[in-house]
Structure 1
Amino acid sequence: MEIRHEDHGRGGLFTTGEGEDRAELTYSPAGLQNSLVFDHTYVPEHLRGQGIAETLLERAVAYAREKGMTVVPACSYVRRVFERHPERYADLAVREEKPFGRI
């Protein structure tokens, strides 16, 4: 499976497929030094269950590690994978900070 990376300067995405078969994982700067927010993963329904999201995540994780960055797993899929496999991602994961309530 070919994974493409598009760096848009203030974020980017990893993609595979074209048109109705396009799957993606998007990221943006976290506001923390050297951190990325993995904020969205999408795989078309007819392609789910084939490990595509996991392949996109592994490529995105490799990118973060190559850059010496940490990851805020904001996407529910990414958060679930990080929680299920802490041994794989403990070096990368940054907990999301909950905003303070109004005073």
Structure 2
Amino acid sequence: MEVTITHDKEYQQFTAKLGQEDAELAYATPSDEVLDFTHTYVPESARGKGVANKLIEEGLCYAEENGKKVIATCPVVKKFIHKNPDYHKLLK
């Protein structure tokens, strides 16, 4: 599944347009150096196709490229980081 992800800093989320529905990874910024990934949503019709993983990877790459640490409040993000040790270094 080809997914294009956009980042909206104002609304603090990464969004994947999926036709009439969107998938999203929301975050908060408890400080200038930290992103807290709070919520992941993928419409039921797109679940099981790797959309959440792509959103999370995009968010984590953004954090790394911008020198930010990460808090994984969202259980889906926490599980993804746990399974992908390359991202452990980003955890606050």
| TM-score calculated relative to the size of structure 2 | 0.88
- Corresponding position of 1:90: 88
Number of equivalenced pairs: 90
More strand by share: 2
Runs of 4+ in 1 over 6 A off after TM superposition: none
Relative contact order, higher structure (CA 8 A, sep 6+): 2
Determine if contact 1:6/1:14 at 8 Å carries over to the other structure.
yes
Match of 1:6 in 2: 8
**Native 8 Å contact 1:24 1:41 kept in 2:** yes
Equivalence for 1:76: 75
Which of the two has higher C-alpha Rg?
1
- SS of the aligned residue for 1:91 comes to helix
- Identical-pair percentage: 36
* TM-score, normalised with respect to structure 1: 0.80
CA deviation string 1:26-57 (max 9, x = no partner): 111124x5111000000001110000000001
Gaps of at least 5 residues in structure 2 are none
- Is this contact kept in 2: 1:27–1:39, CA < 8 A? yes
CA root-mean-square deviation: 1.5
The runs of 5 or more residues in structure 1 that have no matched partner are 95-103
